[in-house]
Amino acid sequence: MTMIQKPRGTRDFLPDEMEQRREVEGFMRRIAGTWGYREICTPEFEELELFTIRSGEGIVGEMYVFEDKGGRMMALRPELTAPVLRMYVNEGRTLAKPLRWYYFADCFRYERPQKGRYRQFWQFGVEQIGADSALAEAEVIMMAGEMLAASGISFSLHVGHLAFMRSLLSGLEPGDQKKARMFLDKKDNQGLEGYFASIGQEDLASSLTSLAGCRDLPSAFSLTGDIPEKDRICELFSILDAAGTRYELDPGIARGLDYYSGMVFEAYAENLGAENQVLGGGTYRLAHLFGGEETPSCGFAVGFDRVMVSRGEKSRQAALVVGIASTPEGLEYALAAASRFREAGLRTELALSGKSLGQQLSIVARSADFALIIGKRESDEGMVTLKDLRSGAQKILALDDAIAEVKGSEPR
């Protein structure tokens, strides 16, 4: 019989890897919660129009699309912002603003798999809906930095504003602007210079390249002039500086010039090669596309799988394991003892083989740190024999004392 393999671009996660993923997920959830953000959840599939209404029909080739039994065109979600805004328009418009929401969910894209890029992947994201201030934007940036730091990766956080790029591109025809955005988003300076040379805009290409290299506000403003958003931009960076946020000013960020409305930011991590972006976000006003009113929003999404690749194999202190070996006469008491140990928060496994006590101990020793040996004597006396499988030391103890002994050896 042919062995059935997992679908291309997907992965199986064994317990050790899942425990590490849950640990990092827990860090992110905890931080989102301390900032006042609460979890939401949307369906894994939506009407196809939800995604094409913003991104156009060209995105269909990169998605998992299907027709349901009612003849409706549906799609597995390729990202979460559109579903969250659909949910806001459907369910959240009357809720008190600002809304502070976060999600952790899998998404699906039909693209060529490579390191850190899969057909099924996970995003941890934050959406702040209904606030329109520099402080609101700064909050999201600061939380993103704290979240990545807690995940244990080395990264750089880049913060910019699209007003700089829009100012320089404002004199171009719409088609030329779109071409320029494509080169800027790909950071293809050679392609940008070649294209602008072909339309007689060599000086503009030079200005755009210079802007991308700016790392201070005065230089960025000198290249783009007195843009209307200047005060708001200065206020944002003043807040980040006052909070001690570690970031790099990057006015050359050109992500989503037709998607984001102002502030944009990205994070880049180590160990990922060319695909090193692990986070992206900014301010946007998209609710009106889904039937709502134009609403100021700000958010970001973390490429969770890329974070895990960048993080690598980090040692984590495994939970202590208690294995229980018992004779038939001691089984009832062993079941009660196991329940008590689990109630105390200890991972407890019964030997299931039904073999002799010695054979059970050999099996238990493969995975456990302590063994509880329970026979007729222990059952009659309400005691347990506790064996430290690491040192070989063995004691006969009351059940509560055995629990205290094991918990006392847990890593601090």
Q: What is the DSSP letter of 119?
A: S
pLDDT of residue 412: 62
Among the three residues 284, 311, 338, which one is the final residue of a domain in this structure?
Answer: 311
Q: Does 94 reside within a domain?
A: yes
Report the number of distinct structural domains present in the chain. Answer: 2
Q: Does 122 reside within a domain?
A: yes
Q: Does 83 reside within a domain?
A: yes
Q: What is the DSSP letter of 62?
A: G
Among the three residues 278, 311, 344, which one is the final residue of a domain in this structure?
Answer: 311
Residue 205: strand, helix, or coil: helix
Q: Fill in the amino acid letter for 266.
A: E
Omega of the bond leading into 296 within 30 degrees of 0 (cis)? no
332 and 307 in one domain? no
Task: Report the distance separating Cα 46 and Cα 50, nearest Å.
Answer: 7
User: For the domain that residue 353 is a member of, what is the CATH number?
Assistant: 3.40.50.800
Determine what percent of the chain falls in helix, strand and coil, rounding each to the nearest 5: 45, 25, 35
pLDDT of residue 312: 85
298 and 331 in one domain? no
Q: Does 397 reside within a domain?
A: yes
259 and 164 in one domain? yes
225 and 92 in one domain? yes
Task: Report the distance separating Cα 412 and Cα 410, nearest Å.
Answer: 6
pLDDT of residue 196: 80
Sheet containing 155-161: order of strands: 38-39, 99-108, 120-129, 297-303, 277-284, 260-269, 155-161, 248-249
pTM > 0.85: yes or no? yes
Interior CA angle at 147 toward 144 and 50, to 5°?
A: 55
Write out pLDDT tens, residues 289-312.
Answer: 888 899 999 999 999 999 999 998
pLDDT of residue 252: 84
pLDDT of residue 185: 73
362 and 286 in one domain? no
Residue ranges of the chain with per-residue pLDDT less than 70: 116, 257-258, 315-317, 411-412
In angstroms and rounded to an integer, the radius of gyration of the C-alpha atoms of the chain is 28
Q: Does 5 reside within a domain?
A: no
Task: Report the distance separating Cα 308 and Cα 278, nearest Å.
Answer: 10
pLDDT of residue 38: 97
Task: Report the distance separating Cα 199 and Cα 194, nearest Å.
Answer: 9
Instruction: Print the domain residue range for 361.
Output: 321-408
User: For the domain that residue 161 is a member of, what is the CATH number?
Assistant: 3.30.930.10
pLDDT of residue 75: 97
